[in-house]
């Protein structure tokens, strides 16, 4: 073989290798999505004012679900919420219900089987359960939604810190009113095939509602909205879930459907961004309820 022929063959093999390699990388990146959590970026958990707990979980209570903020401003309270959950029980699987911010969702429900990178390692999806839920909802995976979704990436460092072996099944959707009840009820039926308070202990699963409550209000508006929310949380009347003012109302609907006459709600913290830091604009306040739901049996 002369030198010219050898060079031509070498170029052909090189091009073929690069073509196959690029296709494989593209396939791998699609199949093994890794999203960044806030602690892997140049962000820090803010120092805020001390907020005393309003209620504590009773001894022996086994929480099967709860609400937690996805604003990093409330990071100290998020950390405490996960700590107290860990002290009450272990969790192998979090079903994370998140609003889909930024209007990135193409379908009614956005799911991914990707992972979240934290400073303590990866938070992995339970791919089998993700695919099962996607099949029930008849929806493809939408990885791109979770690249910027702080409704999940705010929480994953705390999941990894307190439940290092836990996996997640994450779903995002429109959480703001007006709520499409057909889509919300479909989500409820699908989730009932995946989770229930009765099976939470056997499956070591937890229903994690990522939500902030009243937004962009002044003192009087926030107080009015939060009084409505507290009325539902105090009674858990299944017909009054629409009282709740938050950015994840479909998840509150799910809570109402999972609740029984024995369900109790512990409000660990009920506070606002203004109480956390004096730098908050008094005309643009967000409120937070950190709660646990459990059965009084």
- From first to last of its 297 residues, what are the pLDDT tens digits of the chain? 555 554 444 444 434 433 433 333 332 335 689 999 999 998 999 999 999 999 999 999 999 999 999 999 999 999 999 999 999 999 999 999 999 999 899 999 999 999 999 999 999 999 999 999 999 999 999 999 999 999 999 999 999 999 999 999 999 999 988 999 999 999 999 999 999 999 999 999 999 999 999 999 999 999 999 999 999 999 999 999 999 999 999 999 999 999 999 999 999 999 999 999 999 999 999 999 999 999 998
Residue 9 domain-assigned?
no
Q: How many domains does one find in the chain?
A: 1
Residue 67 domain-assigned?
yes
Residue 8 domain-assigned?
no
DSSP state of 282: T
**What does the pLDDT read at residue 16?**
40
Tell me, what CATH number does 203's domain have? 3.40.830.10
Residue 207: closest CA among 264, 151, 143, 254: 254
Rounded Cα gap, residues 33 and 146, in angstroms: 10
Residue 100 domain-assigned?
yes
Residue 225: closest CA among 247, 250, 249, 244: 244
Residue 127 domain-assigned?
yes
> Residues near 213 by Cβ (< 8 Å), separated by ≥ 6?
225, 226, 229, 244, 245, 246, 247, 286, 287, 288, 289
The sign one gets for the Cα dihedral 214, 149, 112, 94 is negative
**What does the pLDDT read at residue 273?**
98
Residue 104 domain-assigned?
yes
Residue 21 domain-assigned?
no
**What does the pLDDT read at residue 3?**
52
**What does the pLDDT read at residue 31?**
66
**What does the pLDDT read at residue 15?**
40
**What does the pLDDT read at residue 2?**
55
Residue 275 domain-assigned?
yes
**What does the pLDDT read at residue 297?**
83
Are 156 and 116 within 8 A, CB to CB?
yes
In 175-286 the beta strands, taken as DSSP E runs, fall at 205-210, 263-272
Are 37 and 116 within 8 A, CB to CB?
yes
Domain span at residue 78 reads: 58-295
């Amino acid at each position: 073989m002369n030198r010219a022929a050898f060079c031509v063959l070498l170029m052909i093999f090189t091009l073929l290798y690069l073509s196959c390699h690029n296709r494989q990388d593209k396939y791998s990146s699609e199949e093994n999505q890794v999203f960044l959590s806030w602690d892997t970026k140049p962000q820090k958990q803010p120092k805020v004012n001390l907020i005393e707990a309003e209620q504590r979980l009773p001894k022996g209570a086994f929480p099967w679900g709860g609400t937690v903020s996805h604003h990093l401003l409330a990071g100290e309270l998020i950390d405490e919420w996960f700590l107290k959950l860990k002290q009450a029980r272990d969790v192998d699987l979090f079903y994370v219900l998140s609003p889909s911010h930024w209007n990135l969702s193409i379908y009614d429900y956005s799911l991914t089987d990707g992972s979240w990178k934290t400073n303590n390692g990866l938070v992995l999806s339970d791919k089998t359960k993700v695919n099962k839920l996607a099949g029930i909802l008849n929806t493809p995976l939408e990885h791109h939604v979770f690249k910027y979704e702080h409704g999940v990436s705010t929480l994953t460092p705390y999941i990894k810190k307190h439940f290092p072996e836990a996996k997640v099944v994450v779903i995002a959707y429109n959480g703001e009113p007006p709520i499409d009840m057909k889509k919300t009820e479909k989500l409820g039926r699908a989730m009932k095939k995946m989770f229930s308070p009765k099976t939470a202990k056997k499956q070591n699963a937890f229903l994690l509602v990522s939500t902030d409550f009243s937004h962009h209000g002044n003192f009087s508006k926030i107080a009015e909205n939060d009084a409505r929310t507290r009325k539902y949380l105090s009674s858990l009347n299944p017909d009054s879930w629409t009282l709740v003012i938050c950015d994840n109302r479909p998840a509150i609907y799910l809570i109402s459907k999972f609740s029984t006459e024995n369900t109790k709600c512990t409000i660990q913290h009920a506070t606002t961004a203004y109480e956390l830091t004096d730098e908050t604009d008094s005309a643009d306040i967000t409120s937070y309820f950190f709660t646990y739901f459990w059965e009084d049996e």
